Amino acid sequence: MPSNKSVSDAPIVQFTNCRILRDHQLQREDLWVREGKILNPEKLFFDEKGSADIQLDCKDSIITPGFIDVQINGGFGVDFSLATDDFKAGIDLVSQKILSHGVTSFCPTLVTSPPSVYHQVLPQISVRNGGAHGAGVLGAHLEGPFISKEKKGAHPEHCLRTFEAGAFQDLLATYGTLDCVRIVTLAPEMRRSSEVIQELTKKGICVSLGHSVANLSQAEEAVQHGATFITHLFNAMLPFHHRDPGIVGLLTSDKIPAGRRVFYGMISDGIHTNPAALRIAHRAHPKGLVLVTDAIAGMGLAPGRHTLGQQVVEIDGLNTYIAGTKTLSGSVATMDTCVRHFQEATGCSVETALEAASLHPAQLLGIEHKKGTLNYDSDADFLMLNDNLYVQATYIAGEEVWRQDASGM
């Protein structure tokens, strides 16, 4: 075959014998990768007269874009809401460990904390690409402290804050920096929240509505000012009521600005949301559903006592409670578990379940041109799965970063 070296010296890898998730369908075709990007084979053949340098037999695996977790509080003994001297080592550990669960990018999430914690932790979070060292960091998700006392959930009440006269300045003073911040969860019924939502949106930060007693009109107003996400739908918000469905009503609201999509996170762990509630949300607004783990430090560890920011939590099976209460506090589910449970609970297609953990979070963050799809020229972050949606191998920028060994570990 003619050489392809005229365009690039980088090797071309052809993944064969696989089913690729592309254009919302599993398609039986090969995946071509060069220099960390998905390659268009037609251009390679006809423009460059090139061919593959390496061929890899995928043994009939499903190839799907890597999962993106936009709400993860920690895991494997690491709590992102604790200001420690080795905080960066904690980020590194979690980013390495979640590769085996198919997560190739994530947003480290901080729950409501004192300003001193934000000032210490946020400068230590930096946006970075994934690789052999672990999943990529897309920026921080700050969940609180500007949330409702009535729906605080596992957030410490003494750290909650309201917006005063200089609303956006209050937020800046609390967090210290917004340099690495990607998502902020707040309660839209708070006074002056509209101006805060507008300012955050101007800075390209995604505003999420959660831990809130907002009615539907307050939620719609927040969306009109730029909010695009709902934090863990159904959890820590007013329950659905037929005369005023509250934040949940955004899923079928006719007051969403033209061209705007509201996304919503769901913790599909079999604990936080009844399967019937998962089905209701998915059928009402399938294109907005984003699977999140909301995982805490105890993910990957034995049951017992662990932390979530300022609180002590107890893990009992898959249940996590604030110690001494029955208040749920995050989950210990991994993203691949959430994908499988979602598919089983809703009866949706494999493609739909996979896109809820890849395409939809990428669209939420406005990065779907490079993450969350296997389109040509997008980042070659992908997974090999078996038919039961268990992760067999994880690739970032076209490089294998994790593989299940022969013993099944």
Query: What is the pLDDT at residue 86?
Result: 92
Query: What is the pLDDT at residue 1?
Result: 42
Contact call for residues 127 and 105 (beta carbons, < 8 A) = no
- Is 61 annotated for ligand binding? no
Query: What is the pLDDT at residue 2?
Result: 45
Query: What is the pLDDT at residue 407?
Result: 52
Q: What is the mean pLDDT of residues 355-370?
A: 98
- Is 328 annotated for ligand binding? yes
Query: What is the pLDDT at residue 275?
Result: 96
Q: Which residue has the tokens 């395409």?
A: 359
Contact call for residues 69 and 183 (beta carbons, < 8 A) = no
Q: Could you give the CA distance from residue 89 to residue 101 in angstroms, rounded to a whole number?
A: 20
Asked whether the predicted pLDDT for residue 409 surpasses 80, the reply is no
| 400 alpha carbon, distance to own chain's centre | 21
Task: Measure CA of the first residue to CA of the last residue in the chain; give whole Å.
Answer: 40
Q: What is the pTM of this model?
A: 0.96
In degrees, to the nearest 5, what angle opens at C-alpha 371 toward C-alphas 268 and 254? 60
Q: What is the mean pLDDT of residues 247-272?
A: 96
Q: Domains, the chain, ranges and CATH?
A: 13-64+373-403 (2.30.40.10), 66-365 (3.20.20.140)
Asked whether the predicted pLDDT for residue 78 surpasses 70, the reply is yes
Asked whether the predicted pLDDT for residue 3 surpasses 50, the reply is no
pLDDT tens for each residue of 307-358: 999 999 999 888 899 999 999 999 999 999 999 999 999 999 999 999 999 9
| 194 alpha carbon, distance to own chain's centre | 25
Q: Which of 312, 306, 342, 309 is nearest to 325 (CA)?
A: 312
Query: What is the pLDDT at residue 6?
Result: 46
Report the amino acid identity of residue 220: E
% of the chain surpassing 90 pLDDT: 91
Query: What is the pLDDT at residue 48?
Result: 80
- Region for 201 from its dihedrals, namely left if φ exceeds 0, alpha if ψ lies in -120 to 50, beta otherwise: alpha
Peptide bond just before 275 cis, omega within 30 deg: no
- Is 282 annotated for ligand binding? no
Q: Could you give the CA distance from residue 91 to residue 260 in angstroms, rounded to a whole number?
A: 33
Distances in whole angstroms, Cα of residue 191 to Cα of each of 86, 119, 369: 37, 25, 36
- Is 235 annotated for ligand binding? yes
Contact call for residues 166 and 191 (beta carbons, < 8 A) = no
3-state secondary structure of 65: strand
Q: Which residues are annotated as catalytic? A: 294
Q: Could you give the CA distance from residue 51 to residue 41 in angstroms, rounded to a whole number?
A: 9
- For 284, counting Cβ atoms within 10 Å of its Cβ (0-12 exposed, 13-18 middle, 19+ buried), the class is middle
DSSP output for 304-357: EEEEETTEEEEEETTEEEETTS--B--B---HHHHHHHHHHHH---HHHHHHHT
Q: What is the mean pLDDT of residues 39-46?
A: 88
pLDDT tens for each residue of 95-119: 999 999 999 999 999 999 999 999 9
Asked whether the predicted pLDDT for residue 171 surpasses 80, the reply is yes
pLDDT tens for each residue of 263-296: 999 999 999 999 999 999 999 999 999 999 999 9
* Bridge partners (DSSP) listed for residue 391: 385
Mean pLDDT across the chain, nearest whole number?
95
- Is 330 annotated for ligand binding? yes
- Is 243 annotated for ligand binding? yes
- Is 211 annotated for ligand binding? yes
